[in-house]
Amino acid sequence: MHPLIHPGFPEHIKDLVSSGAYIAGTLDADFAHNQEDLYDVLVNTVDKSILISPQAAADLRMGSIHKEMSDIMTRVCSAPQVTDVDVINAIATQTQRVLEYIRNLARGGIVTRDVIVKNVSNQARRRWLLEIAQLEGMIQEET
C-alpha cells in the first residue's frame, strides 16, 4: 500500500510500479483519471472518494471490510475542517486493524495461506485478505 503518491516525483511512481502493490492515495486529482493503469484502488483525498480501476473491478467486489473502510472515510471526510492528513491517518489506522485481524487468524502462530483459507469462509473476503497479507509480506511458507 502506498498511502500518499505524488505523481510529480518519479521515484514515487517507480516505487508504486515496482512494488506490485496497487493501493495508493494521492492529493492530485488528475492522477486518478490519467493513471488508471498504476492502481487498483485509489484514495482520492481531493475528491474525497475511493476509485476502483476498471481492470480491478471484477476482483474487488465490496465486502464488509470495504464497507467499514468507506464508512470511516465518509465520516472523516465529512467532518468540518478535515485535512488530508486526517484522512490518511484514518485509512492507516483501519489498515492496521485489518493487518491485526490477519495476525489474529493465526492465533499467535505464523500467518500462512492455509490459516487464512481455513478461517475465512467468504471467498471474496478470503482472496482480499490473502492479497493484503501477501503484499504486506505477512505470509510465511509452511514447513
Task: Evaluate whether 92 touches 3 at the Cβ level (below 8 Å).
Answer: yes
Write down the residue that cell numbers 495476525 correspond to: 103
Task: Evaluate whether 139 touches 111 at the Cβ level (below 8 Å).
Answer: yes
pLDDT at 117: 93
Task: Evaluate whether 88 touches 45 at the Cβ level (below 8 Å).
Answer: yes
pLDDT at 10: 76
- Is the Cα torsion angle 101, 134, 39, 56 positive or negative in sign? negative
pLDDT at 24: 66
Instruction: Provide the grid cell at 2.
Output: 502506498
Coil vs helix vs strand at 21:
coil
Quick one: residue 137, left, alpha or beta (phi over 0 = left, psi -120 to 50 = alpha)?
Answer: left
pLDDT at 116: 93
pLDDT at 118: 93
pLDDT digit string (tens) for the chain, length 143 residues = 555 666 677 777 777 777 665 566 666 767 666 777 767 777 766 676 777 777 777 666 666 776 777 777 778 877 888 887 888 888 888 888 889 999 999 887 788 999 999 999 888 788 888 888 888 888 887 66
pLDDT at 41: 73
